[in-house]
Structure 1
């Protein structure tokens, strides 16, 4: 029986630990918090997961909350106009539903399950010195803790990391009492509200510790009018700021938020970080090697909602690579090949798309977003790109590809020639 140490009890670490455990590996999991501390702590993310990422949880039969969590069937995009109205507003339909389960619920539940199934849990914030010691007694050490001292072992990959500073200031609030969007009251949907030059507001249904709720998530351009949450410790003040900004910049969302209240005392979160890709292999002082997992090695801005999705896909990819490796040593060549498989299938497409969305959108992207309001297939394809970001490569980045795609859709829809270019109202 091979012995594996997993450091970090988030989406990727726990999914990997439970997957390895189910295949008969002897797994030790290190977490800096107990299940109860996670459950009663502060919210950690927005974690909207799309169908293919959710499937990895179904495959491991750890999708414990699938029947309780709201089934998100659409993804809408609105672009604010200078007059406080909307230049663009549409809803794309997802092929398979998405779901968001508060990580306090999921990680606490998974941690309990890991222990119930006989896994060894060590509650300890691991240091490099700890790993140096442990590496001698385990066949493989996986680092899935994306913050703190351990990350320093993984050097920044400058060629894959165009940004060296945060591109957005982040502010999250979980609320009860949000009303439905009047345009599609029957559809649970993620709403992406783009305010040009200012930032973005995402609104999404979730399952939290107190049942169904909604997440209000601002991403503000640093130094801009949304960058006002730093130093705000009081949850009530955080919510008041969130709503004030909604009233100013996205009044159509504010209109359904006038009666909201925070779900609990730990329902707010604010911060910022620079998007980064790191080298996947960490070297310990004693010569041992450890492999970085998910956002330890590929940390994108949450503007495209890919964090938990990428973590789930990374855990599934690594699990497959470990199982296929049999009893051979987990050496440096295997570690590199394991990361490369994940990078080229998931990490690279997600990073390319996310970095593109952080910049000022070029005219052809504005045309695509605008055209989606007139051509439902474009809206649907854009929405489903959140599940499969590699699809954007076919039509999103190159102006000629975008023009060809819009012409093809307009033609097959019987739309008048000019329907695609008239969509640049998004500008």
Structure 2
């Protein structure tokens, strides 16, 4: 039986651990927190998982909250005009629904399941020196802890990392009491509100520790009017700032948020990081090698909502690479090819996310505007969140965009 160590108990680490465990591998999982500490701790993310990522969980039969979590059937885009009215407002329908489960609920539940199924769970914050020791006793060590000392083992890939500084200041609040969008009260949708030059507000339904809730997530251009959360420690002050900014820039979203309250005392989060692609292989002082997983090696800004989706897709890709390798050594060549296989999908996420962080060119503005009049364009854009590779066909190249819009317009007029 092959012995595998996974360091980090997030979406990718736990999904991979449970997947390998189900295939008969002897898996040890290291987490710096217990399940109870995770469940009662601070919110960690704004996860909205689309169909492909959710299917990976179904395939492993670990979709424990699917019946409870809101079914997100659409993805809407609104663009604020200078007078704070809506210059653009539409919603695309998803081919398969998306869902969001608070990672405090999911990671704690998955961690307990892993232990109940006989997995070895070690509660310990790992340092490089620990991995140096463990690398000699395991056939494979994978690092899926995307923050802290361990990430420094994986060098930045400058050719794939155009930004060396954070492109957005992030601020998250989980709330109860948000009203529906009056124009589409009949189904749940993620709402992407764009305020040119200022930032973005995302609103998404979720399942949290206290049941159904909604996430209010500001992404502010650094140094701009939304970049005001640094140093704010009081959750109620964080929520007040969130709502003040909504009232100022996005009055249509503020109108349904006048009665909201935080879901719990740990329902806020703020921070920033530079989007970075890293080399996938970490070298230990003794010469041992470790493989980086998910956002350890490909960390994108959350503006396109891809973090947990990418983590799920990476775990599924790595699971396939491990299980198809038989009893051959997990050497450097295998590690590189395993990452390269994942990069075939991840590169599309990175390209699209980095494009969305910049000032949109005219043809992209035309595309977003046209989606308001042409429902098939809105639907295709929305479904790109599930399969970002499709953006190659109609998003980046002005000629492809114009040809697609002409075709869509002709079909609508037919």
TM-score (structure 1 length as normaliser) = 0.97
- Structure 2 SS opposite 1:390: helix
Q: Which residue in the other structure is 2:128 paired with?
A: 128
- Structure 2 SS opposite 1:48: coil
Is 1:26 aligned with 2:26?
Answer: yes
- Structure 1 SS opposite 2:99: strand
Is 1:113 aligned with 2:113?
Answer: yes
Shift of 1:360: 0.1
Q: Which residue in the other structure is 2:306 paired with?
A: 306
- Structure 1 SS opposite 2:206: strand
Shift of 1:90: 0.1
Q: What are structure 1's unaligned runs of at least 5 residues?
A: 416-427
Aligned length in residues: 414
Shift of 1:169: 0.1
Q: Which residue in the other structure is 1:381 paired with?
A: 380
Shift of 1:347: 1.1
Is 1:403 aligned with 2:402?
Answer: yes
Shift of 1:79: 0.2
Shift of 1:44: 0.1
1:188-203 mapped onto 2 (5 Å cutoff): 188-203=188-203
- Structure 1 SS opposite 2:162: coil
Is 1:238 aligned with 2:238?
Answer: yes
Is 1:78 aligned with 2:88?
Answer: no
Q: Which residue in the other structure is 2:349 paired with?
A: 350
Shift of 1:84: 1.0
Shift of 1:339: 0.1
1:9-48 mapped onto 2 (5 Å cutoff): 9-48=9-48
- For each residue in 1:95-126, what CA deviation from the matched residue of structure 2 results, as whole angstroms up to 9, or x when unmatched? 00000000000000000000000000000000
- For each residue in 1:287-344, what CA deviation from the matched residue of structure 2 results, as whole angstroms up to 9, or x when unmatched? 0000000000000000000000000000000000000000000000000000000001
Q: Which residue in the other structure is 1:276 paired with?
A: 276
Q: Which residue in the other structure is 1:6 paired with?
A: 6
Q: Which residue in the other structure is 2:170 paired with?
A: 170
Alpha-carbon separation, structure 1, partners of 2:27 and 2:4: 5
Shift of 1:369: 0.1
Cα-Cα RMSD = 0.4
Alpha-carbon separation, structure 1, partners of 2:193 and 2:350: 21
- Structure 2 SS opposite 1:152: helix
Q: Which residue in the other structure is 2:150 paired with?
A: 150
Alpha-carbon separation, structure 2, partners of 1:324 and 1:250: 50
- Structure 2 SS opposite 1:290: strand
Shift of 1:284: 0.3
Q: Which residue in the other structure is 2:54 paired with?
A: 54
- Structure 2 SS opposite 1:49: coil
Alpha-carbon separation, structure 1, partners of 2:3 and 2:147: 24
Shift of 1:31: 0.1
Q: Which residue in the other structure is 2:140 paired with?
A: 140
Is 1:331 aligned with 2:331?
Answer: yes
Is 1:102 aligned with 2:117?
Answer: no
Q: Which residue in the other structure is 2:363 paired with?
A: 364
Shift of 1:413: 1.0
Shift of 1:83: 1.1
Shift of 1:249: 0.3
Alpha-carbon separation, structure 1, partners of 2:308 and 2:11: 6
- Structure 2 SS opposite 1:155: coil
Alpha-carbon separation, structure 2, partners of 1:386 and 1:412: 24
Q: Which residue in the other structure is 2:289 paired with?
A: 289
Shift of 1:187: 1.0
1:194-273 mapped onto 2 (5 Å cutoff): 194-273=194-273
Q: Which residue in the other structure is 2:315 paired with?
A: 315
TM-score (structure 2 length as normaliser) = 1.00
